[in-house]
Amino acid sequence: ESQLNPNYNFVNFVEGDSNRLARSAGMAVANKPGGTSFNPLLIYGGVGLGKTHLAHAIGVEIKDKYPDKTVLYISSEKFTQQFIDSVKSNTRNDFIHFYQMIDVLIIDDVQFLSGKAGTQDVFFHIFNHLHQNGKQVILTSDKAPVDMQDIEQRLLSRFKWGLSAELQAPDYETRVSILQNKLYRDGVEMPEEIVEYIAKNIKSNVRELEGVIISMIAQASFNRKEFTIELAKQIVDKFVKNTKKELSIDYIQKVVSKYFDMDVATLQSKTRKRHIVQARQLAMYFAKRMTKSSLASIGSQIGKRDHATVLHACKTVDNLTETDKQFKKYVEDLTKKLTL
């Protein structure tokens, strides 16, 4: 099972200035997997800009051209989980062997390997084996290798061996094409001025462009309405507001304490009771992940701690997420609560 999504293909991936380099590098790799200097091919860029789509498209194209090659798509979270499970069940060698047999390995969102030393180590060995044997590795990340944190130097240097290609936010014309392409595929007609209105107002995320179209179609059919510019305005406003909403540290503390059924004062208190310490560390972790505040500022707002305490909290959460299923669930639940 390649885990590839056939709907994420090159035909559906609208070309524009913002993605031309990454797209053509992806095409080159698909034509000659393992046979170009683009190995690994690392696609990086912000949320919703098409990294996952393009990574699948390369895999789908390779499967089409070379049906005998084994292609595997996997998220780095799932890869990490599989590795941890293999350690627990004493099947680490089977895990490594499985990955070393693959012709084209696609790992999505490698930034999630950050801080996970064990997984990085095993990936390093798999990577070397594949690369030495002329197999293709394709990676995606939300950052360029130079900006990645808590990834081992030797792995980072491997990431830089091939080509790093950025997916940028699409320009206006590309946004219009993406919208038109989506409408065409859904068999929906929409007045040009509405398409242009959406393209003018949603700028930095293709997923949101699609989201507006999906909401428009749902609203219009549900209320038996026409596609009007007013409806477009309402929906676009909602999307813009949601994106702009920067979470505050206060809000994060409230959500975390409520989740653990305690009040904010308890979360901030000096106690060393384990569940309270964990709640506090989670609040610090989410404050670091979801706000632009410095470690020092996060510390001072969460019970007057210093920046080293916050840094330690973030590392602890990363480690526990990797080793403790229950804790991982906390992080997942809270991520949902904070972002929905």
The footprint of ligand ADP (CB under 6 A) covers 8, 12-14, 19, 45, 47-53, 178, 206-207, 210
Which helix H or strand E contains 164, and what residues bound it?
strand 163-166
Size of the site for Mg ion (CB under 5 A): 2
Contacted entry of Mg ion, ligand ADP, none for residue 19, CB cut-off 5 to 8 Å set by kind: ligand ADP
Give the footprint of Mg ion on residues 232-291 (CB under 5 A): none
Q: Return the number of other C-beta atoms located less than 10 Å from residue 211's C-beta.
A: 17
As given in the structure block, the two tokens for residue 43 are 């696609």
For residue 20, the minimal CB distance to ligand ADP (Å) is: 10
Contacted entry of ligand ADP, Mg ion, none for residue 47, CB cut-off 5 to 8 Å set by kind: ligand ADP
Give the Cα separation of 102 and 197 in Å (integer).
46
Contacted entry of ligand ADP, Mg ion, none for residue 48, CB cut-off 5 to 8 Å set by kind: ligand ADP
Which residue, chain included where needed, has tokens 């993605």? 19
Between 141 and 257, whose beta carbon lies closer to ligand ADP? 141
For residue 338, the minimal CB distance to ligand ADP (Å) is: 18
Give the footprint of Mg ion on residues 25-64 (CB under 5 A): 51-52
Between 55 and 317, whose beta carbon lies closer to ligand ADP? 55
Between 13 and 159, whose beta carbon lies closer to ligand ADP? 13
For residue 254, the minimal CB distance to ligand ADP (Å) is: 28
Give the Cα separation of 238 and 236 in Å (integer).
5
For residue 163, the minimal CB distance to ligand ADP (Å) is: 17
Give the Cα separation of 130 and 134 in Å (integer).
6
Rounded alpha-carbon distances, angstroms, from residue 53 to 6, 78, 196, 211: 10, 18, 24, 16
For residue 29, the minimal CB distance to ligand ADP (Å) is: 17
Between 166 and 196, whose beta carbon lies closer to ligand ADP? 166
Between 61 and 108, whose beta carbon lies closer to Mg ion? 108
Which residue, chain included where needed, has tokens 């560390």? 281
Instruction: Give the three-class secondary structure for 165.
Output: strand
DSSP state of 161: T
Between 154 and 207, whose beta carbon lies closer to Mg ion? 207
Give the Cα separation of 10 and 26 in Å (integer).
9
Rounded alpha-carbon distances, angstroms, from residue 329 to 1, 119, 318: 27, 19, 13
Between 212 and 313, whose beta carbon lies closer to ligand ADP? 212
For residue 205, the minimal CB distance to ligand ADP (Å) is: 8
> Which DSSP string corresponds to 2-46?
----TTS-TTTS---TTTHHHHHHHHHHHHSTTSSS--SEEEE-S
Longest dimension (CA), the chain: 62
Radius of gyration of the chain (CA): 22
Give the Cα separation of 16 and 23 in Å (integer).
9
Q: Return the number of other C-beta atoms located less than 10 Å from residue 294's C-beta.
A: 12
Between 97 and 207, whose beta carbon lies closer to ligand ADP? 207
Q: Which residue is nearest to ligand ADP (CB)?
A: 50
For residue 323, the minimal CB distance to ligand ADP (Å) is: 27
For residue 13, the minimal CB distance to ligand ADP (Å) is: 5
Q: Which residues bind Mg ion (CB under 5 A)?
A: 51-52
